[in-house]
Amino acid sequence: MTAVWQCQEVTSSPTGAVRQGSLRELNLAVVLRRIAAADRPPSRAELAADTGLTRATVSAVVDDLLGGRLVAEADYAPRTGAGRPARGLVLADHGPAGLGLEVNVDYLAACVVDLAGTVRHHVVHRADLRPVSPADALTRLAALAADARAAAVREGLTLAGAALAVPGLVSDGGLVRLAPNLGWRDVDVPALLAGHRLTEPVDGVPALVVENEANLAALGELHAGPPGTASFLHLTGEIGIGAGIVLDGALYRGTRGWSGEIGHIPVHPEGRPCRCGGRGCLERYAGQEAVLAAAGLAGADLPADTAAARLAELAEAGDPATRAALADAGTALGVTVAGVVNLLDLDTVVLGGGYAPLARWLRPPMLAEITGRVLTAAWSPVTVRPAALGARSAAVGGAASVVRRIVDRPAGWLTRAG
């Protein structure tokens, strides 16, 4: 007769109290999500049938959304037969938008994504940022952001929030604890960007989110990739190796936001020493440095994306050293991914970042290891495919996550808009 739980703060579904107004607030989100997820502009009647709400309620909710300029009416082409024609509903292309930013080793990027998920503005500024101080780098980034904001305003968009992708570990509050390849340590990004107003304040959407690059790239893939893939592992191969883990349609960030350090999963426990202090980490076998060295390009010191392009070129030309290097990297990746799939029961692995252009050569050895080692591979195969957005998807993923938050919680935007 032992008590099994006494004072557990288990938040298995972290639903807070439901107030009077929460009802409308929640239904706004339900309806808006359906509109966002539909493959053609749905009518009010269809929304009512889908959600289980009455047509009266849906009409009222849609009126709110129309008034707040989050959705617009569109023609509803496919006429089925008799009856009054439906008015299709689409996400507005002139309402709130998200600002996506990225600081990486050899480029800065800024982009604007609207509610419908369309990339309306995208600039990449190439520059070696390793010798630049964090403050200067962020000042340059703020200039890009200002341009992006001007572009958004020109198109009638309001920037509702920003997400900044950084190749490193980020604490709550946007503190970059460590970004080894950038040479950053304990950089307080929000403080350094405080002088520049990047976006308009909107209730429920944080003004600036700083997040690991691999995580945001995975979110980009979630939004851009084929529908139906709610859980997957997204690998970003740059100088380090990052993994973005998407489970049931949501990014898994870990207890402190430091998930995804797949580059330091041991592949050969007694193998090559790693700068992390461990031995035999994946990074030492499938990281860019290791692949370049094996391909005979050590010390070339190419920018990250150029390196991947060069490797693809050589592999395409049939260079045996490059082919062998990629095969070995693919095997190491496959061994690690097989373990991850055994643990997490995923059915999709996406090759992003620098791996995207090399997918053709990495995929076969990866699949060989996976099918040989994954317990359930016999029942249902694991898909390995290149990222839909390719490299540099982190900024777009970040911008998409901003507008996604508005779709998930439109009440904040509506109260703001009056």
Partner DNA sequence: GTCATTTAATTCAACCACTGAACAAATTGC
Partner DNA sequence: GCAATTTGTTCAGTGGTTGAATTAAATGAC
Q: Which residues bind DNA (CB under 7 A)?
A: 18-21, 23-24, 27, 43-46, 53-57, 59-63, 79-87
Q: Does 183 bind a second copy (CB under 8 A)?
A: no
Q: Does 80 bind a second copy (CB under 8 A)?
A: no
Q: Is 237 left (phi over 0), alpha (psi -120 to 50) or beta?
A: beta
With CB under 8 A as the contact rule, which of the stretches 82-90, 157-165, 215-223, 293-301 interacts with a second copy? 215-223
> Which partner in a second copy, DNA, none is near 278 (CB below 5 to 8 A by kind)?
a second copy
What is the rounded distance in angstroms from the CA atom of residue 196 to the CA atom of residue 187? 17
> Which partner in DNA, a second copy, none is near 56 (CB below 5 to 8 A by kind)?
DNA
The least CB distance from residue 66 to DNA, in Å, is: 9
> Which partner in a second copy, DNA, none is near 43 (CB below 5 to 8 A by kind)?
DNA
- Residues 235-274 touching a second copy, rule: CB under 8 A, are 243, 245, 247-250, 252-262, 264-269
Nearer of residues 67 and 372 to a second copy, judged by Cβ: 372
> Which partner in a second copy, DNA, none is near 191 (CB below 5 to 8 A by kind)?
none
Q: Does 224 bind a second copy (CB under 8 A)?
A: yes
The least CB distance from residue 15 to a second copy, in Å, is: 6
**DSSP track, 177-222:** EEETTTTEEEEEHHHHTTTS--S--BTTB-SEEEEEHHHHHHHHHH
- Residues 6-35 touching a second copy, rule: CB under 8 A, are 6-20, 22-23, 26-27, 29-30
The H-or-E segment that residue 26 falls in is: helix 22-37
The least CB distance from residue 171 to DNA, in Å, is: 34
What is the rounded distance in angstroms from the CA atom of residue 279 to the CA atom of residue 8? 39
Structure tokens given for 60: 């009222």
Return the closest-CA partner of residue 358 out of 284, 304, 293: 304
Return the closest-CA partner of residue 260 out of 344, 359, 378: 344
What is the rounded distance in angstroms from the CA atom of residue 260 to the CA atom of residue 241? 9
- Residues 106-135 touching a second copy, rule: CB under 8 A, are 113, 116-120
Backbone angles phi, psi at 96, to 5 degrees: -75, 155
Nearer of residues 8 and 20 to DNA, judged by Cβ: 20
The least CB distance from residue 87 to DNA, in Å, is: 4
Q: Does 81 bind a second copy (CB under 8 A)?
A: no
The one among 175, 276, 293, 417 contacting a second copy by CB under 8 A: 276
- Residues 358-417 touching a second copy, rule: CB under 8 A, are 372-376, 379-380, 389, 396, 400, 404, 408
* Token pair 């970003």: residue: 236
Structure tokens given for 40: 């053609």
> Which partner in DNA, a second copy, none is near 202 (CB below 5 to 8 A by kind)?
none
> Which partner in DNA, a second copy, none is near 38 (CB below 5 to 8 A by kind)?
a second copy
Nearer of residues 134 and 398 to a second copy, judged by Cβ: 398
> Which partner in DNA, a second copy, none is near 82 (CB below 5 to 8 A by kind)?
DNA
Query: C-alpha distances in angstroms, 93 versus 64, 152, 205?
Result: 17, 11, 19
* Token pair 């009416």: residue: 73
Is the distance from CB of 323 to CB of 348 less than 8 angstroms?
no
Which segments of 243-319 does DSSP mark as H helices, in order?
283-286, 288-294, 304-316
Q: Are strands 184-188 and 383-386 parallel, antiparallel or unpaired?
A: unpaired
What is the rounded distance in angstroms from the CA atom of residue 278 to the CA atom of residue 271? 9
Q: How many CB atoms lie within 10 A of CB 6?
A: 5
Q: Does 223 bind a second copy (CB under 8 A)?
A: yes
Structure tokens given for 222: 């979630």
Nearer of residues 57 and 193 to a second copy, judged by Cβ: 57
User: How big is the chain by its Cα radius of gyration, in Å?
Assistant: 23
> Which partner in a second copy, DNA, none is near 152 (CB below 5 to 8 A by kind)?
none
Nearer of residues 138 and 283 to a second copy, judged by Cβ: 283
